[in-house]
Amino acid sequence: MLVVDNLYAGYGKSEVLVGTSLTVKQGTVVGLIGPNGAGKTTTMRAISGELKPTKGTVMLDSKPVQGLDASRIARLGLAHSPEGRRVFGPLSVEDNLLLGAYHRLPRFFGFRSRAAAELERVYDLFPRLMERRRQSAGTLSGGEQQMLAIGRALMAQPKIMLLDEPSMGLAPVVVDEVFSIISRLKESGITLLLVEQSASRAFEVADYAYVMERGRVVMEGKPAVLQQDARMVAAYLG
Amino acid sequence: MNGSVIAQLVVSGSLMGLVYALIAYGFQLTYATSKSINFGQGELVMVSAFICLTMTNLGISYWFMVPLGLMCGALLGLFVERAGVRLALEQKNEGWILLTIIIGLFFFSAAENIWGRDDRPFPTPISSEALQVAGIRITPLELSVALGVFAIMGIIELFKRKTLLGKAFEAVAADRDAAELMGISATKTIMLSYSLSGVVAAVAGLLVSPITTVGPTMASALVLKAFSVAVVAGLDSGFGVVLIGLFLGSLESLTSYYVGSGWREAPGLILLILALAVRPTGVFGKIPIKKV
């Protein structure tokens, strides 16, 4: 589904990614973990086209997409729910969700009815968003905004979803709630690349995980295996 | 002071104020999506007015000429975006300021060379026979200005709120990069905002020309006032520009009647200075809602 090979990217002269490689198979949840500044978010941004990679390849459905505009890559079926949630604050919750499905809806009229089934699915998953659908997104709590960001990405009916640090800045109870949603999505067969600072959280839902340090993958494996690894325990799980 | 004189002054001033508001609205449209404005907006008003006049002189009927004129406005707006704004925005620098001024100057000299420096009357089928309404004299032509301003602003606001493309427009305004991740092309949205802004300029040109006549300098005073209105109202409130436009227009006509016509330009400039010194976000400017 998604194959990233030897990816280099950075901001200006400073290179953040120095040869990152990873693979996400269809229907699996893959965790990307590592300390602050390891390049997890940069990896996400280089995959989704928000940042242009300087070297390496990104294959989506065996087609190279590196260097394309983010909006093109999104239309090819990749939904990136970015770090910090980035909901459209002045717009209503429902408008945020509708915009998530932008690329497959008519531009002028009739978009609401065309999106109705998907909208219902998302509201079913996040009843709180249903209650607040007319409220402007900027007035939601952090947890609700995170749910909106996930819901917005789901609206695209993506082939693969990139989810960056869904636990950031949230209270532990809310994080539990978010991860139980991710488990439900996993049961429904979603293909997901999940960036998470907290390794133990990521291991709860991931089928496979990559550990990044200083811009490259230093370890990979099934969570059950990684959890036994002495270096892993010392650095992230201790 | 006489009540009916004041009422008369307020009404005729307000009509001019609505034109300021419309041009200011053109600034807001492009500022929303791209955080840039066309400093040559006045020249777009003037060039579209000249194009409309030429079409009329070629024998094209008024109601057929109007849509063509709006289309020309849209094309001019697209030209400004492509030639003056796009590269600067891609490189995230402020080059668009100078470039849009230069494009404006270019339009100005082109107009002088093509159409000459003289002001010319603009024929219109709308009557300028004054009607008496509650003791106030108002011409159908003046009414058409008010109607035209509200119509075009209303249509654009409906578009922004009711269509998905309009919502995408607002999304790009709120967070350009996040909008790109939804598959919304920011570049196309910015092109759309510049073409809409061009249409708005053409509408302004069509509406004022019969009153002010058409000439290369016809819009230079207008655009300065529009700029004051945009800054005083804030660059994100369509309702705000209408209100401030009406206020400034009436204030100007009252000033020129009671203080002297030489002072006509003063209120706009004083408001501009006051706004920049006291409330740079504008009276109706919102502080963006952010919550983590």
Residue pair B42/B36 in contact by the 8 Å Cβ criterion: no
- Asked whether residue B131 is assigned to any structural domain, the reply reads yes
Task: Give B125-170 as a DSSP string.
Answer: SS----EEETTEEE-HHHHHHHHHHHHHHHHHHHHHHHSHHHHHHH
C-alpha–C-alpha distance, residues B25 and B275, integer Å: 18
Count how many domains chain B has: 1
- What digits encode the pLDDT tens for the residues B124-136? 888 888 888 878 8
- What digits encode the pLDDT tens for the residues A177-198? 999 999 999 999 999 999 998 8
- Asked whether residue B73 is assigned to any structural domain, the reply reads yes
Task: Give B6-33 as a DSSP string.
Answer: HHHHHHHHHHHHHHHHHHHHHHHHHHHH
C-alpha–C-alpha distance, residues B279 and B239, integer Å: 18
Give the pLDDT of residue B289: 40
Residue pair A86/A93 in contact by the 8 Å Cβ criterion: no
- Asked whether residue B10 is assigned to any structural domain, the reply reads no
| CATH number of residue A167's parent domain | 3.40.50.300
- Asked whether residue B238 is assigned to any structural domain, the reply reads no
- Asked whether residue A147 is assigned to any structural domain, the reply reads no
Q: What is the mean pLDDT of residues A15-37?
A: 93
- Asked whether residue B158 is assigned to any structural domain, the reply reads yes
Q: Distances in Å between the alpha carbon of A135 and those of A74, A89, A141, B239, B272? A: 26, 10, 12, 21, 34
For chain B, the first-to-last Cα distance in angstroms comes to 56
- Asked whether residue A59 is assigned to any structural domain, the reply reads yes
- Asked whether residue B264 is assigned to any structural domain, the reply reads no
ipTM, interface predicted TM-score of the complex: 0.90
Quick one: pLDDT band at residue B221, thresholds 50, 70, 90?
confident
- Asked whether residue A18 is assigned to any structural domain, the reply reads yes
Give the pLDDT of residue A50: 92
**Interchain proximity A69–B291, CB inside 8 Å:** no
**Interchain proximity B184–A71, CB inside 8 Å:** yes
Residue B286 has pLDDT above 70, yes or no: no
What's B289's DSSP letter?
A: P
- Asked whether residue A139 is assigned to any structural domain, the reply reads no
Q: Is A138 on the interface with B (CB under 8 A)?
A: yes
Q: Is B287 on the interface with A (CB under 8 A)?
A: no
What's B125's DSSP letter?
A: S
Give the pLDDT of residue B238: 84
- B120, β-bridge pairs: B214
- What digits encode the pLDDT tens for the residues A221-233? 999 998 888 787 7
- Asked whether residue B188 is assigned to any structural domain, the reply reads yes
Quick one: pLDDT band at residue B1, thresholds 50, 70, 90?
low
Count how many domains chain A has: 1
**Interchain proximity A99–B163, CB inside 8 Å:** no
- What digits encode the pLDDT tens for the residues B240-280? 999 999 999 999 999 999 998 889 889 989 998 998 888 87
Q: What is the mean pLDDT of residues B135-144?
A: 88
Task: Domain of residue B134: give its range.
Answer: 25-226
C-alpha–C-alpha distance, residues B210 and A192, integer Å: 62
- Asked whether residue B46 is assigned to any structural domain, the reply reads yes
- Give ∠ CA A174-A91-B175 in degrees, rounded to 5: 85
Relative to beta strand A208-213, strand A29-33 is: parallel
Task: Domain of residue A61: give its range.
Answer: 2-88+159-237
Q: Which two tokens stand for residue A118?
A: 């998907």
Nearest by Cα to A93 from A146, A43, A159, A55? A146
Give the pLDDT of residue B288: 46
Q: What is the mean pLDDT of residues B46-54?
A: 96
Task: Count contacts between A and B (CB, < 8 Å).
Answer: 100
Residue pair A176/A146 in contact by the 8 Å Cβ criterion: no
Give the pLDDT of residue B251: 94
C-alpha–C-alpha distance, residues A187 and A204, integer Å: 13
Stated as kind and residue range, the H or E segment containing B205 is helix B186-212
**Interchain proximity A74–B183, CB inside 8 Å:** yes
Q: What is the mean pLDDT of residues A60-77?
A: 94
The mean pLDDT value of chain A amounts to 93
- Asked whether residue A111 is assigned to any structural domain, the reply reads no
